[in-house]
Amino acid sequence: MTTDRSADEQAATGWWRSFTASRVGVIVWSWDFGAGVVIGVTVALSTALSSAVAASMGAVYIGVCGIAAAIATLVITAMTVLIAVIGPNYRLLLQNAPAGLGGILWPYRVVAVTAVLASLSSLCLGILWPLVTGLHWGVVFTLSAVPLVLLSWSLFGCIQVVNQVARHFSNNQRADEIAESVRRASRSA
């Protein structure tokens, strides 16, 4: 016996599918985001619960600031390389895709912004760390988690965007090969 799902169930499923297919949903359900949250929260928890770990974290956050800024630079460079290698044939294909040319740049922008936010938040936390350590452990944990999650996420995001550069490079080459075979076929016809 089959039963129809209720309108509420269908609406809930429709909302969930819409969310997971959206730009935000795709980010939240990506492996790099999940891994960044797990690692960042784990390190932040040790910072909040161990006075020995907490004692060294002021300088660590200043270092995190530099690392995150370097990640942002790396990602912006990868985005520039990607833009430079896109040939006219692949560009034509991308312009006709639903997300267009801007769609392939979206992950790079997300990782770059995440890295910049990690850099800024860790700089602020590094400077204010002597004040933060005297607060309730839950506040220390929350403040510590922000730059650590953002840094971890942006590091894993680098893996994603580097793989995407390689994939787009291959797709660009393939688009040129297909265009050339079409030109040869039209000349011989």
Nearest to residue 165, comparing CAs of 72, 70, 84, 67?
A: 84
**Tens digit of pLDDT for each residue in 120-132?**
999 999 999 999 9
| pTM exceeding the 0.75 threshold for the entire prediction | yes
127: enclosing H helix or E strand: helix 100-132
Please indicate, yes or no, if residue 22 is contained in any of the structural domains: no
Work out how many domains the chain is built from and give that number: 1
**Tens digit of pLDDT for each residue in 87-102?**
999 988 888 888 888 8
Query: Maximum Cα–Cα distance for the chain, whole Å?
Result: 80
- Rounded CA gap, 174 and 171, in Å? 5
SS3 33: helix
The boundaries of the domain holding residue 37 are 32-188
